[in-house]
Amino acid sequence: MTEGPVVSADPIVSPRRILAPLALAQFICSFAGSNMNVMINDITRDLDTTVKGVQATITLFLLIMAVLMIPCSKLTDRWGRKRCFIAGLAVYGVGALISAASPGLGVLILGNSVLEGVGTALLIPPVYILATLAFTDLPSRARAFGVISGMGGIGAAAGPLIGGVITTGISWRAAFLFQALVIVVIILLSRRRVVDPLPADPSRPFDTLGAVLSAVGMFFVVFGILQADTNPVLMVVFLSVGAATLAGFFLYIRSRERAGKEPLLSTALFRNRVSNLALVTQNLQWLLLMGTSFVVAVFLQTVRGYNAIETGVIFTAATLGVLVSSLAAERLAQRYEQKTLIYVGFAVTVAGIGVLLALVGASSRVVAFAPGLLMIGLGLGVMLTPSVNVVQSSFPEEQQGEISGLSRSVSNLGSSFGTAIAGTILVSDLASGNSSYVLAMITLGALGLVGLAAALKLPAEPVPTGRSTP
């Protein structure tokens, strides 16, 4: 990549016009990660499967996104950012149509988990790379990331509500047709609005072995977590294999770098303390968002007996929280340091989990969920954008492809951890009613405190664009 201002190949296209398709793409991908949570009862009945089967489908979708995000971010240089974006949208759209027509869990996994996961991994890195290249100064770039990240948070928070309305009003299959329709709209918007400012470089080398090692390592870590309630021995084995593979991946890319060859990821990305801390906060933010969404949705449907729309309506509080804080993100960024927004966000989110536990334990009324979910939505909405800004702005333009892929991979890995860790605790003993729910939420609260600790270690000021902190 080259440094300096980016001049669009099409003078008709302004940076602001590119935001609509990019933000809408982030919205629908985040929506896909949470909207199935309210369809669990309908899908299990229709496809003759189990809650565990649907949980595995959701987690696999999030995991495939995570493991392919880094390799796909490297392919954007080789194939071109717009080409990867459009190709990802097409693959995603096909996956949504297959999911809508699925006769059984296996076909649903193919359409939703595999094809939608692969499509998302192809299209999301270009979203952040194109935004970085189109908006060259820090304030405008922060606003762009605010819109895109905000739409991602709204998509994840609104997924249960929109999914619940569609599922109850029509069918759970119609929710996938809705996704396919949105994909068509994005493709039409992208035809003239999305312009790749840099030419593709087909000669750019691609580290195939590095891609395989990173994907296998992350897969075994998450798959191991899913075995916690059924086979603890297999859990330990898979976690050990995953950790060993990831360690091998790091050693491999370091040796490849020393040999003068281009690795899948530069080890310099891991030497930036500011970025590392912000990546931890990103991972835990999405873990909390997706973990809370899954746990509350499953609890409401399997223990309280709520249907899809009733479950979705309860999530309105979280959706409003994310929406309000996301809309205020730009004004908040002008008044407060990014570090402040991140640690306040974690503090409010953890407090929201505490309120959710206290009120739901004390009352069986549906209104007991509203205050806690509202606080969780407000907290997460406040900190999603600042974490992205800190990570992306910690590196110069020539490393934006790599850090964008790593950033998105870490976020999606957090999402898969959320459904895998908290979901497994809940699903392991649904018959106990409130007990497994309380344990799952306490676990999420503890992880939120880890995120708060990481946020407090961030520097007082954001790292200026184009400067790397050793």
The string of DSSP letters for 317-351 reads HHHHHHHHHHHTHHHHHHHS-HHHHHHHHHHHHHH
* CA distances from residue 360 to 100, 364, 369, 418, 438 in whole angstroms, order as listed: 34, 6, 6, 21, 10
pLDDT at 361: 67
The contacts of residue 243 (CB under 8 Å, 6+ apart) are 217, 221
Nearest to 427 by CA among 418, 437, 415: 437
- Name the token pair of 321: 């929280």
Euclidean distance between CA atoms 11 and 307, whole angstroms:
50
Q: Report pLDDT for 319.
A: 82
Please tell me the number of Cα atoms within 13 Å of 238 on its side-chain side: 17
CA nearest 156: which of 452, 421, 393, 411? 411
d(Cα 121, Cα 138) in Å, to the nearest integer? 26
pLDDT of residue 431: 59
Residues 6+ apart with CB under 8 A from 88: 72, 118, 119, 120, 121, 122, 123, 124, 126
The amino acid that residue 230 corresponds to is T
d(CA 116, CA 109): 9
The DSSP element (H or E) to which 300 belongs, if any, is helix 273-302
pLDDT at position 461, please?
63
d(CA 286, CA 428): 22
Full pLDDT tens readout for the chain, 470 residues = 333 434 344 444 566 788 889 999 999 988 887 888 888 889 999 999 988 888 888 888 888 887 888 888 888 888 888 899 999 999 999 999 999 999 999 999 999 999 999 999 899 888 888 887 787 766 677 678 778 877 887 888 788 888 889 988 999 999 999 999 999 999 999 888 888 887 878 888 888 898 899 889 888 888 887 777 677 788 889 889 999 999 999 999 999 988 888 888 888 888 888 888 999 999 999 899 888 888 888 888 888 788 888 888 888 888 888 888 877 777 787 788 888 899 999 999 999 999 988 887 666 677 788 899 999 999 998 888 888 878 877 777 667 667 777 887 788 788 878 887 877 777 666 656 677 888 888 999 999 999 999 999 988 764 444 333 33
Ramachandran quadrant class, 322 (left: phi over 0; alpha: psi -120 to 50; beta: rest): alpha
Query: Any idea what DSSP says for residue 261?
Result: P
Sign of CA dihedral 77, 78, 80, 83: negative
CATH 1.20.1250.20 fits 15-195+264-456, yes or no: yes
- Residues in contact with 337: Cβ distance below 8 Å, sequence separation at least 6, in sequence order: 460, 461, 462
| Coil, strand or helix at 375 | helix
The residue to which tokens 């281009």 are assigned: 262
Picking from 387, 275, 386, 407, the residue whose alpha carbon sits closest to that of residue 331 is 386
Q: pLDDT at position 469, please?
A: 35
pLDDT at 47: 93
DSSP 94-139: HHHHHHHT-SSHHHHIIIIIIIHHHHHHHHHHHHHHHHHHH--SHH
Q: Is 83 exposed, middle or buried (0-12, 13-18, 19+ CB in 10 A)?
A: middle
> Considering the entire predicted model, what is its pTM?
0.78
Among candidate residues 448, 440, 38, the one with its CA nearest the CA of residue 225: 440
DSSP E strands, 171-240: none
